[in-house]
Structure 1
Amino acid sequence: MILHAIAAKLKQRAKTDFKGRHYEATLIVQAVSWYLRYPLSYRDIEKLFPERGLEVDHSTLNRWVLAYAPLIEKRLRTFRKAHCGSVRIDETYIKVRGEWRYLYRAVDKHGNPIDFLLTANRDLDAAKRFFRKMLQDQPLLAPDRIGTDGAGTYPPAIAESRKAGLLPRTPVHYVTKHLQQGIESDHFRVKRSMPRVGGFRSFNTARRTIQGFEAMLWLRKGFELAGAWTVREQNRLLAICFGLPQANKG
């Protein structure tokens, strides 16, 4: 009875999620996941739809991604597992309207994703906001060891998080380039599908789209769920998140 009630709630939510759309919800989710999972442009995906007897303009695909990438991130966030306690934090550069912006990211020592934040600046305020976002909604994920690069903003940001009660105890903070190589490699995995020429057109577009890129990376890595974690299984979880029937059964 409980599972039936959950399924019914998800299906009802799907009606609201896709209200007013002229295409089936399963098709929209598939198109958005293509863009977020593979290094394809909107025009690349536009060319794929005639193979299914459909025509979708690239501008429509853009609107779908901006609308549903944040929803995918929000719903997949609930499947994240507690990390091992040892966290690596780093920033990478993102071009927005021809200017460099900064994507703060955190993974644990095994590469499991923790959180991210796009900021306009790389300073103490940005570091403090990232720690607050990473810790305030998930107090049980508070790390006891934090690895960073040599940026001077991290020690005061950690101290401020401790003072604000976001950290139950002061973590060990270590600065080592060798241990940061893992998260630097992880940056490439999330950036490989981003626009290569000119970057994003606006900060809001970048923020919403990056939510989807990060969420799709979480999905590819898996959430320690049992069984083989194939693309088919990933798509099944996406369908569950939106209360949709499983596509391509067989």
Structure 2
Amino acid sequence: MSKLSYAGYRFPPVIIQRAVWLYARFTLSFRDVEDLLAERGIMVSYETVRRWVRYFGPTIAADLRRRRPKPHSTWHLDEVFIRIDGRLVYLWRAVDVEGEVLDVVVQSKRDKRAALKLLRKLLRKTAFVPDKLVTDDLRSYGAAARELGLSRRHERGRWRNNRAENSHQPTRRRERKMQGFKSAGSAQRFLSVHAATYNTFNVQRHLISAKTHRAFRASAMQTWREVTAAA
């Protein structure tokens, strides 16, 4: 992928890159990022940070996704409700057995059609059929799996899908910090950027030694620098 162009921006690329990284990587608001930059003598308004994230975030996320290795062949699917502008919508999420976020889709319903949309998108993006598809007991998953010929690979159970259910926690934290999403479109944009950043920096710290963790963290930062490098 071609390098990002920062032409026409008053601030140097390194400041823009740092602002976008802070917002995408940590549970911070735009005003929090503004304060962190101000502490370092960089006077940037939170609205400017918001525009940077909105403009550069999707492109960065797309490049990060392209650089990820092939996901595990066991997928966990789950849906959770969120409120957007007072309206109840559903956040459909798919992760693999290692916690890698495969996709996040905001939809208005939790029926067969919504489940099919998520599964078809997953199959198209990953370009392979999973060995195992784990969900809760929502009938929409079974109907969608039958239509796609995945019934034999589909496993259901209330307690078997904790992997996907736990993956909602970072999103819930961000939702509270942002005081809710303003629209379905903005939620979809943010969650796509957040998922790609989360996958890059989620190195399963509790499963590895400190030395290995430092190496993985350095590798993640190097990937971020390559993706955000100026043209």
Normalised to the residue count of structure 2, the TM-score between the two structures is 0.86
Instruction: Show the 5 A alignment for 1:31-180.
Output: 31-140=19-128, 142-162=129-149, 171-180=152-161
Structure 2: unaligned runs, 5 residues or longer? 205-211
Q: Is the 8 A contact 2:133 2:155 kept in 1?
A: yes
Q: CA deviation at 1:78?
A: 1.0
Q: CA deviation at 1:51?
A: 2.2
Tell me whether 64-73 or 146-155 shows the greater mean CA deviation. 64-73
CA distance in 1, matches of 2:39, 2:213: 34
Of residues 237, 244, 248, the one that matches 2:223 is: 237
State the number of aligned residues: 224
Of residues 4, 29, 47, the one that matches 1:14 is: 4
The match for 2:208 is: none
Question: Residues 150-209 of structure 1, C-alpha deviation per residue, up to 9 Å, x if partnerless?
Answer: 1111122122333xxxxxx65421111222112211110343223446411122211111
CA distance in 2, matches of 1:143, 1:66: 33
Question: Residues 45-67 of structure 1, C-alpha deviation per residue, up to 9 Å, x if partnerless?
Answer: 11112222221111111112222
The match for 1:3 is: none
Q: Does 1:23 align with 2:11?
A: yes
Q: Is the 8 A contact 1:98 1:199 kept in 2?
A: no
Q: CA deviation at 1:144?
A: 1.8
SS of 2:11's equivalent in the other structure is: coil
Q: Is the 8 A contact 1:85 1:108 kept in 2?
A: yes
The match for 2:198 is: 217
Q: CA deviation at 1:23?
A: 1.6
The one-letter amino acid of 1:105's match is R
Question: Residues 80-134 of structure 1, C-alpha deviation per residue, up to 9 Å, x if partnerless?
Answer: 2223322111012233212232221111223233222121222222111111111
> What value does the CA root-mean-square deviation take over the aligned residues?
2.5
The one-letter amino acid of 1:118's match is V
Are residues 19 and 97 of structure 1, via their aligned partners in 2, closer, same or farther at CA, if it must alter by over 3 Å? farther
CA distance in 2, matches of 1:79, 1:222: 15
CA distance in 1, matches of 2:176, 2:55: 18
The one-letter amino acid of 2:114's match is A
Structure 1: unaligned runs, 5 residues or longer? 1-8, 163-168, 246-250
The one-letter amino acid of 1:174's match is E
CA distance in 2, matches of 1:72, 1:177: 36
Q: CA deviation at 1:226?
A: 10
Q: CA deviation at 1:135?
A: 0.7
Of residues 159, 170, 182, the one that matches 2:163 is: 182
Are residues 20 and 222 of structure 1, via their aligned partners in 2, closer, same or farther at CA, if it must alter by over 3 Å? farther
CA distance in 1, matches of 2:109, 2:31: 32
Question: Residues 9-38 of structure 1, C-alpha deviation per residue, up to 9 Å, x if partnerless?
Answer: 74xx322xx232222222112111111211
CA distance in 2, matches of 1:76, 1:197: 24
Q: Is the 8 A contact 2:25 2:194 kept in 1?
A: yes
SS of 2:7's equivalent in the other structure is: coil
CA distance in 2, matches of 1:112, 1:58: 30
The one-letter amino acid of 2:147's match is E
Q: CA deviation at 1:212?
A: 1.4
Identity over the aligned pairs, expressed in percent?
28
Normalised to the residue count of structure 1, the TM-score between the two structures is 0.80
